[in-house]
Structure formats: structure tokens, C-alpha cells
Structure 1
């Protein structure tokens, strides 16, 4: 039996962030489906693990942990000597990793998640895309990506010349942005951002996760 149990949903960007991190760290895990389409995340059994009723949640021995960014940081620390070193080899490198992790969470994720949600999720739920919200988020994301373009003209990855947690955290939402939202030009139109994306999205650890990312049952 694998040491870590992951409760999640294959279309969930947060779940896929955690699964990719586990793959990078070469950690075995058991995946427990929490079917968001049937409301399993709001049922008492799951709420006993995560009172917020969102995915993912992991169980590692006596530890139950939710919030994807907290989970991947925990995994990167716990399995630091195993698989890909996602935190850097010095204190300065680690500080830069955490800096760009914060940029992802605070500056990149809000606009990209709005774009993906409004274009893909809202119509699936019977609603209409808020085009004004999409355009506003495109403008915000463009400004963030312009900063990325400058940064990535000087280093291969966000925190330096090594793949890190900072890059990994961008994979799930950017996957949907590029492959499903029709707004992939936000990435492809920027030379260094596009090269970075092609690099990180081609990693086998991510490809293994991405092939299962679907919004519907097959």
C-alpha cells in the first residue's frame, strides 16, 4: 500500500498540481476519486477530512492536509533527497522559489483561473460567459506574463536555471489556458514564456497527469 493517499478529481487543477509533485518526487500514492460531479466533496465523509469541501486532500500517516500549495511544499520538503529537487540547493535559491510560488498564487492564478472558469466551466454549468470579466483578466494576465517574459529572458526557469516548485505550480491552469480556452496566444506570443511552457509541459511527470485532465466522464 502506498504511504500517501490523495483524495481528488482528475479535472481539478489543484489536484493535478499535487499529483505532478508526487511524480516529480517519485513518491507512490493511492488516488481516491472525489467525484465533484455528484457532489461527493460536500458529503459528510469527505467533509470530515476537509471542512471546506474542496479537493485535494492528502493523508500521510496521521497527517491530513489540504490546500494544494501547502501540500506541494510539504512534499517537496519531506522528500527533499528523492526525485527532483524542487526547492533549490541553497537558501538563496529556496527564497527565489518561494518568491515565484507566491507570484503564481497571488498574481498569475487569479486572472488565469477566471479566464478558464468563465470560458470552460460556466457554460458547462448552464451559465453564460462573462466576456467583460474575461477581457479584464486577459489584460491583467498579459501584464503578469510581460514580467515573466523579462524574467525568462535571463533564466531558463522562474527561480533560476533549475525546474522548481515555482514552475510546477503553473502547469495545471496553463494547460487549460493553452489547450482548451482558446487563449493560448497569451503564452505563444511571448518568445521566452512560450519556450518555458513547452519545456515544463513536456516533462513526463506532467504528461502522465495531463492525459487524465478532463471536465467530463468518458
Structure 2
């Protein structure tokens, strides 16, 4: 009996949704992207809240399993489909997984907060006719700059953040970094740092991410 594809709820332009899409493509897992019209508050309707209690995106369903946090979803996909697609995405031994996890934590706790603010303020606020908060932009640009100095040092020691192989630790940075590099005037945050620039060029040119970007362009 054919197995139904996993379902990802949310727009492809969402950074959290695109993180999950890239993971699914890397692992060669069939999926269905189900649009959620956030302008019409579809993410706040009772049926949606049953699978995403916080009323955010993405929501994820895999047969009888429902999940809602993008990094947890990615870990689940990698564990369930460890023998499919690119098998180095979440490591192949406990030490590799621990290294990936620590850099995933760095992304979630240290990279995501300032980069998310900058993505909203610089990329989305102008489109939404919302006034930009220059003080907030300066504060978060400073935070991100200091963090990327640490990344640059790390990436001078290893090809990727968690070691010599591309992993979830790198993939998880793609959504916010993509907007900062391609939809704002802060590209130099990445390109002015030799090792970060080399790393960004490599991870952003993976086939999986190019496919996600193509999905984002489809209206």
C-alpha cells in the first residue's frame, strides 16, 4: 500500500516552513505543501490549532504524527528516514549528532533572534508599509555581527559548522541568511567575512535550497 506523503502547512516564503522543506528535499521524502493564508488568519482557525496549538507555521503531519516546531520536525524527518537521501544530515554516530545539536542550539538561541528581527525590519516591514525601527536594527545588527565573528573563526577550522560534512546545523541557517543576503542591504554581514562567505556560498548553492527558493517564487 502506498504511503501518503507528509504534509507541511504554511507558505514557502516562511523561514520556518522553508527550513522543513529543505530538510525533506535533502532526505528525498515525498511531501505535500498545503497553503495557509495568514492574511485571512487561517492559522488561527480551530482545525488548524488542533495540529499547531500556537497558531504559527509550519504545522506538520506524517500519517498519525503531528509536529509543529521546525527544528524538531527536521530532527524527526532525519531520524525516521535515516536511510534515505543524504544520510549525513543529522550525523551517523552519537558524537556527530551532539556536534550538530550544539550548533543547532547556537542557531536557534543566538543566530535566529537577531537575524529574524533584521529580516522582518529590513525585508518585510517595507513591503508591509510598516515603519522600520532603526534602533532595533542597529542593536540586532551588532549582535549578529559579533556572532558571525565567532562563526568565521569556527569556519576557519572546519568546512561546516558541525564538522567536515554539511548537516542540519548549516541547513537551519539558510532561511534567514537567504533573506539577509538577497533581500536587504546587509549582505556584507556574510560576504565581509572570508570563511562565512565561503560557507554561505557552498550551503546556499545546494540543490535542495535552490528548489526551495524556486518554490518561494511560485505564487
TM-score category of the 2 structures, normalised to the smaller one? over 0.9
Distance 2:63 2:75 in 1: 17
Q: CA deviation at 1:208?
A: 0.2
Unaligned runs of 5+ in 2: none
1:54 alignment partner in structure 2: 56
Tell me whether 1:142 sits opposite 2:153 in the alignment.
no
Are 1:182 and 2:160 matched, yes or no?
A: no
Displacement of 1:109 in angstroms is: 0.5
TM-score (norm: length of structure 1)? 0.95
For 1:44 and 1:66, how far apart are their aligned partners in 2? Answer: 15
Query: Could you tell me which residue of structure 1 aligns to residue 214 of structure 2?
Result: 211
Q: Once the two structures are superposed, what CA deviation does each residue of 1:51-70 show, in whole Å capped at 9, x if it has no partner?
A: 21111111111111101111
CA deviation vs aligned residue, 1:138-191 (integer Å, no higher than 9, x gap) = 110011100000000011000000000000000001000000011010000001
Name the structure 1 match of 2:98. Answer: 95
1:24 touches 1:83 (CA, 8 Å); kept in 2?
yes
Aligned to 1:124: 127
Match of 1:45 in 2: 47
- 1:2/1:30 contact within 8 Å kept: no
TM superposition outliers: structure 1 runs of 4+ over 6 Å:
none
SS at match of 1:46: helix
Unaligned runs of 5+ in 1: none
TM-score normalised by structure 2 residue count:
0.95
Cα shift at 1:88: 1.7
When the two chains are superposed, the root-mean-square deviation of aligned CA atoms in Å is 1.3
1:151 aligned residue: 154
Q: Counterpart in 1 of 2:12?
A: 10
Superimposed CA distance per residue, residues 117-144 of structure 1 (whole angstroms, 9 cap, x where no aligned partner):
1112223333200011011111100111
2:174 corresponds in structure 1 to 171
**Maintained 8 Å contact 2:119/2:176:** yes
